[in-house]
Amino acid sequence: MATFKAVVIEKAEGGQRAALTTFDEADLMEGDVTVRVTHSTLNYKDGLALTGQAPVVRRFPMIPGIDFAGVVEQSSHPDWKPGDAVVLNGWGTGETHLGAYAEKARVKGDWLVPLPASLTPQQAMAIGTAGYTAMLSVLALERHGLSPASGPAVVTGAAGGVGSVAIALLAKAGWHVIASTGRAAEAEYLRGLGAAEIIGREELAKPAKPLAKERWAAGIDAVGATTLANVLSMTRYGGAVAACGLAGGMDLPTSVAPFILRGIALYGIDSVMAPQALRREAWSRLARDLDHAALAAMTTTIGLDAVIDQGPEILAGRTRGRVVVAIS
């Protein structure tokens, strides 16, 4: 029987246990496309799945990993044939459907997008779900009618995955980017990605006033909680904020003041169930707009054997930029 290497999470006494092991191809779940996975990545949600710190995994055993790039091996889906290079983000992969930290995945063809021609599979996963989410956030701000002429843009969780890609995208488009980080030592890294100003995370950590001094026209927030409340209260009249993360918490201790007195908008960003048309738009913009040198500067690469140990690291906010998992 055919087997392949995979990280597998099993239920164990008092929680769960993750191990690098072999997996039977016959035990893959239903799907009309089988993919040889070449690269995956480490996202915040993968950290939650690997550690069990939040109930991300809804089925056991589970192969974690919410995104991959790979090559189609077998397909009964009309859009895909063997040899096609593909990318997958979300759709419950690594949560309810066996995921990406494996040499093989079987998924629905409807979930896949083509690997953009100008990106290698490694670059696509250096972007990964974090970078695709950053692009979805930029698209939301643009749809609001904002542009670099509107004023500065703030990015929170700046040295993380979403934050790093958001900075690079906004800076390349000409925005004055204000990067909020808890890691002062990463100032040079953030400037290298294109940040014009660095502010300390603590500036956005005090309880938010209903309205505060207007500091930016746009925001991309990966942190949530008090940080997002402060970002909102400091957004200029008519501005907008894209909320995509919860690295600082799930709550949102704000008031209606920024909305009804400054007319600002808060856009929710979801990458997991985003419709195909939006995904393809995001990936084609990433292929066109993301500076490859900036992408390389924010990326480190690990093997499948190192991924389990990296779970607690990303949850502790110690991971810089993006981590690619090279698989086969």
| Residue 245 in contact with ligand NDP, rule: CB under 6 A | yes
Cα–Cα distance measured from residue 174 to residue 169, given in angstroms and rounded to the nearest whole number? 9
- Which of 88, 159, 195, 220 contacts ligand NDP by CB under 6 A? 159
| Residue 138 in contact with ligand NDP, rule: CB under 6 A | no
Min dist. Cβ of residue 183 to ligand NDP (A): 4
| Residue 319 in contact with ligand NDP, rule: CB under 6 A | yes
- Which of 98, 139, 246, 307 contacts ligand NDP by CB under 6 A? 246
- N-to-C CA span, the chain: 20
| Residue 152 in contact with ligand NDP, rule: CB under 6 A | no
Min dist. Cβ of residue 1 to ligand NDP (A): 35
| Residue 271 in contact with ligand NDP, rule: CB under 6 A | yes
Q: Which of residues 26-65 bind ligand NDP (CB under 6 A)?
A: 43-45
Q: Identify which of 157, 165, 158 has the alpha carbon closest to the alpha carbon of residue 299.
A: 165
Cα–Cα distance measured from residue 93 to residue 89, given in angstroms and rounded to the nearest whole number? 8
- Which of 65, 94, 99, 182 contacts ligand NDP by CB under 6 A? 182
| Residue 233 in contact with ligand NDP, rule: CB under 6 A | no
| Residue 244 in contact with ligand NDP, rule: CB under 6 A | yes
- Site residues (CB under 6 A) for ligand NDP? 43-45, 129-130, 133, 157-163, 181-183, 201, 222-223, 227, 244-248, 269-272, 314, 317, 319
